[in-house]
Homo-oligomer: A and B are copies of this chain.
């Protein structure tokens, strides 16, 4: 090997580490240690020209926005618009969950037109192309194709196994994971073990080459608070723990996907369990939703659960939009979903990382009734445009002349 080439690569790696450490407010040495032990993963396909994203312990809680077509609604431009809105509102990653139209075209366009890590669920393509006739080879071909296209992380539902099928009938909702249901349908129909579980070594071989991170999917994530933290969910988590060990031996980055619908008082246990069973692999939760009845407002239910989960150690929040349980989100749904998740992630980072500077600055701006500064610091990047009428005011319509801040400023000054 060319020593100069190795040295040059080391230099690039060091510089990248330094940049991330600076951005995340973590010491470089600590970051490097965590990347090595797998508690932090760097998300970036080696083919792709984007900034790598650090997800895991001691760095900021990241949030993901799902986009993608459905069989009944294929409008690639619209999905791209959603992607761009999500990034504008500071989603850290995107997942393309398209299941309608030309999936390769959609994916490559998103990869080209956005600059945040992109995740996918390769089993979608495999199932849509071949349904029940898919096999490990065709699945691996899809994974390889997507690696080559530049996908940065992939959900692989490798944890569900034959021994879990029987217990599913006892659940209120047996399964809600779409990718999980594709694999499950195959397993039942073919009476065979989950090919992604059996041949996980082959999956690792493919993704390793492209430095693609595997997000181990939880096919059995609860879809009802009643089903949360049940035996099936934990059995699958135990499998994910085994697969994590395999992946780490091969140097493949692993993220663990988690629930789902979880009552408030079970969230902490879910985070502790994941961290313990999966050797501190970054935890990526969907919500969690703390009630089942908030249909139309699940971004709020998800923000409640997400804030708690992240405070207890979850590292990556998948957004939930107001359209969850109803249909494909609109652009406005995407925007609201991203903002709700950002609030949850930030509220948790205030605790986890002591990241309170922005809150302090906001409070100071608020005391001074400095709208310009407040909008600069706000979670919504477009506040300034929306509330331009406030910018020059020294009060708001809530209190007018009876503004507590103003009254007291006057009296306390003397």
Once the chains are docked, how many angstroms separate the CA of A169 from the CA of B178? 56
Total chain A interface residues with beta-carbon distance under 8 A: 98
CB-CB contacts below 8 Å: A155-208 with B = 165, 168-169, 172-178, 180-182, 184-185, 188-189
A294 contacts which chain B residues (CB < 8 A)?
A: 343, 378-379
A168 contacts which chain B residues (CB < 8 A)?
A: 408, 412
A261 contacts which chain B residues (CB < 8 A)?
A: 363
Q: How far is the CB of A233 from chain B (nearest CB, A)?
A: 15
A235 at the interface (CB under 8 A from B): no
Instruction: Give the copy number.
Output: 2
Interface residue SS majority, chain A: helix
State the 4 A-B residue pairs at the shortest beta-carbon distance, nearest first: A224-B363, A181-B404, A327-B397, A71-B400
Whether A172 and B363, one on each chain, are in contact in the complex, defined by CB atoms closer than 8 angstroms, is yes
Residue from the set A175, A291, A360 with the largest chain B CB neighbour count within 10 Å: A291
Closest residue of chain B to A359 (Cβ to Cβ) is B292
CB-CB contacts below 8 Å: A341-400 with B = 343-344, 346-348, 350-351, 356, 358-360, 362-364, 366-367, 374-375, 377-380, 383, 386-387, 390, 396-400
Whether B301 and A343, one on each chain, are in contact in the complex, defined by CB atoms closer than 8 angstroms, is yes
Q: How far is the CB of A118 from chain B (nearest CB, A)?
A: 20
Q: How far is the CB of A22 from chain B (nearest CB, A)?
A: 22
Whether A265 touches B99, Cβ cut-off 8 Å, given contacts A225-B356, A359-B226, is no
